[in-house]
Amino acid sequence: MLMDSHLKHFRKADPVIADLIKRFGPYEPKQRRGRFQVLTSSIISQQISTSAARSIRKRLVDRLKPGVITAPKLAALSVDELRELGISRQKGEYLLDLAEHVNDGRVSLRRMSNMDDDQVIEQLTQVRGIGVWTAQMFLMSSLDRRDVFPFDDLGIRNAIKSLYDLDDMPTKAQGKEISDPWRPYRTVACWYCWRSLDG
| Rounded Cα distance, 82 and 88, in Å | 8
Q: How many CA atoms lie within 13 A of 99 on its CB side?
A: 19
| Rounded Cα distance, 170 and 98, in Å | 33
Catalytic, out of 118, 153, 180, 198 = 153
| Rounded Cα distance, 159 and 80, in Å | 41
Active site residue 153: yes
Q: Is the N-terminal amide bond of 26 cis, ω within 30° of 0?
A: no
> For residue 16, what is the enclosing H or E element?
helix 15-24
Catalytic residue set: 153
